[in-house]
Structure 1
C-alpha cells in the first residue's frame, strides 16, 4: 500500500537539500558544457541519455513500460510541459539576463502552491504558507534583485518566456500529483517526461540549425554526464518519488534553495563573486521553508 504523508520528515528534507544542491551545481555544468555543445542539443541529448538509463532501471526492477494504465495522455501532457519549460528557459536566456531569469523562474513554487490548493485534496493553502513562500522568494530577490531594472522590449520578451516556463514547471508538478500519474511508479512518470522532452528538444535543435558540437574535452564530457546520469536520472527520479509520497506545496518551497546553491557553486568553481547577501538570502529561504512546513 502506498504511504502518503501530510508533512515532510527528516528523510525528505535531507533528500531535498541534496537535490537542490545538485540542481544548483547543474547550472555550472551547463555553462561548462555549453563551450562545446549547443544549448538545445545539450538539453536534448541529456534527456535522451537519461531515457535510456530509466529504461534499463525499469527493466531491472521489472516495471512495465507499455502497460495499459490510463496514464498515456497525462504522461504526454507532463512530458510536453517538461520539455516546453526547458525550451523556453533556453530561448528566454537569449533575450534577458540570467539574473532576471532566476527571479521569474522561481515563481514556480507559487504556481505549485495555488495548483495544489485548487486541484489536490488535502493540500489547501494556508496564510502562514503564503507568508513562508514570500519570505523564501525574498531570498532570491536579495541575491538577484539588482537585475530588476526597467526592461527593454527585447528583455521583456525573454522575461515573458521565463514566466511561462515557471508556470509550466509548476503545472508539471500539479499535473503529476493530481492525475493518475501519481499512482504510477516514479520511474514511469519520469520516463514520460524524459522521452517526450528528448524528442521535442532535439527536434527544435535540428530546426534551429544549431552549430556543430565542438571539442569534447574530458571536462565537457564530465559535465554532460553529470547532467545526464546524476541530475536527469538520479535526482529527477528521487524528486518524483518525493512528489508521490509528500505534499507538493511543501516540497516546492525547498526549491528556493537551488539558486542559492547555484550562486555558491559559481563562486567556488567559477570564481564568481560571493557577498554577504548570500547569507542573508539563505536565512530568508530557511525561514520561508520553515513557515511553509510548520505544522
Structure 2
C-alpha cells in the first residue's frame, strides 16, 4: 500500500474515533444519553450482523462463546459507550475523549496485576507519563463533575474488555464478534435507558443525521478501516497512531462546540498522547488484540 493512502486512512479512522465525542455531545440535544448510545449500537450491530451473515463468516460455537460475546458487549459497548455518553452531559467532549483514551495505560496495569502479562520498560514510562497528563488535565478543572467519574469509568471498562478479547479472541471471527457484541451492548443500553432515565429522541433531519453518522461512519466504517490497516500494515506501528484519536477529540470539540482549550488541557493532553504512543509502540515481540490495541510481552 502506498504511504499516502495508508496515512490518509489512518487520519480517517482516528478522526472518526475522536470526533464521535463532539458529535455525540451534539446528539444529546435531541436524545437522552443511554437511549442515543443504545440505538446507535443496535443499528450498527444489526447492519454488521447482516453483513457477516451474507459473507458467511464463522459464528460462535456453543453457549459458552455466545456468553463471552455477551460479556464483551456488556463491557465494551454498554459499559464504555454508556459511560461516555453520560459523561458528555456534564463535561466537554475534549475532557471525555482524553479520559476515555487513557485506557491503553490501564491495560498495562490491569494486564500485569490480573493476567500476569509483562511489558517493556518504555511502556511503563508511557503509563507514568499518561497518568501525569491526566493529573495535569484534571488539575485545570475547577470543580468536580460526575462526568469526570463516568469518563474514567469508560477507560476502565475499555481496558477490561481489551484484556478479555485478547484472551478469548482466538475463539471468534473478529467481524462476527464485533457485530454481536454491539447488538448485545446496544440492547443493554436500551434496557438501562428505560430503567434509569426518562428516554426521549426527537426525530428530525439533524437527529437522524447524527444517529446515522455515529452508527455507520463512527462505528462500522471506522471499524472496517482500522482492521484493514492492521491487516495491510505492521500492527505495532499502526497501533501507535491511536494517539491521534484524543487529539481529534479535542480538536473537533473546539471546532464544533466552541469548547475552550485551556493550557492545562494542552499540557496534560501532550503527556497523555506521548504515554499512549509509548504504550502502543513496539520494538520486540508483539501481540495484537481484537480491539486493535497492541499488547507487548517479553518471555
Is this a same-fold pair by TM over 0.5?
yes
2:201 is equivalent to residue 206 of structure 1? no
Q: Give the whole-Å Cα distance in 1 for the aligned partners of 2:253 and 2:136.
A: 17
Q: Give the whole-Å Cα distance in 1 for the aligned partners of 2:41 and 2:85.
A: 15
1:203–1:283 CA distance, 2 compared to 1 (3 A)? closer
**Match of residue 104, structure 2, among 109, 112, 120:** 109
1:137–1:61 CA distance, 2 compared to 1 (3 A)? farther
1:240–1:262 CA distance, 2 compared to 1 (3 A)? same
**Farther-moved stretch of structure 1 (207-216 vs 280-289):** 280-289
Aligned length: 278
1:54–1:233 CA contact under 8 A, matched in 2: yes
2:16 is equivalent to residue 22 of structure 1? yes
| Aligned 1:253-272 pairs, distance under 5 A | 254-272=241-259
Cα deviation, residue 150, structure 1: 6.2
Q: Name 1:72's counterpart in structure 2.
A: 66
Q: Deviations over 1:49-71 (max 9, x none)?
A: 11111112102311133644852
| SS in structure 2 at match of 1:71 | helix
1:29–1:20 CA distance, 2 compared to 1 (3 A)? same
2:123 is equivalent to residue 129 of structure 1? yes
The CA RMSD over aligned residues, in Å, is 3.9
Cα deviation, residue 175, structure 1: 0.4
2:208 is equivalent to residue 221 of structure 1? yes
2:102–2:272 CA contact under 8 A, matched in 1: no
Q: Give the whole-Å Cα distance in 1 for the aligned partners of 2:16 and 2:193.
A: 25
1:37–1:214 CA contact under 8 A, matched in 2: yes
1:89–1:278 CA distance, 2 compared to 1 (3 A)? closer
Q: Give the whole-Å Cα distance in 2 for the aligned partners of 1:73 and 1:246.
A: 32
| Aligned 1:95-174 pairs, distance under 5 A | 97-98=91-92, 101-102=96-97, 104-117=99-112, 124-136=118-130, 145-147=139-141, 149=142, 151=144, 155=145, 158-174=147-163
Q: Name 1:89's counterpart in structure 2.
A: 84
1:47–1:198 CA contact under 8 A, matched in 2: yes
1:50–1:194 CA contact under 8 A, matched in 2: yes
Cα deviation, residue 196, structure 1: 1.0
Unmatched runs of 5 consecutive residues or more in structure 1: 1-8
Cα deviation, residue 173, structure 1: 0.9
Unmatched runs of 5 consecutive residues or more in structure 2: 284-299
Q: Give the whole-Å Cα distance in 1 for the aligned partners of 2:277 and 2:155.
A: 23
TM-score scaled by length of structure 1: 0.75
TM-score scaled by length of structure 2: 0.74
| Aligned 1:242-261 pairs, distance under 5 A | 254-261=241-248
| SS in structure 2 at match of 1:214 | coil
1:112–1:146 CA distance, 2 compared to 1 (3 A)? same
Q: Deviations over 1:108-160 (max 9, x none)?
A: 21221234446779x6212211212443555566666411x464xxx4x5544
Q: Give the whole-Å Cα distance in 1 for the aligned partners of 2:56 and 2:171.
A: 17
Q: Give the whole-Å Cα distance in 2 for the aligned partners of 1:258 and 1:46.
A: 20
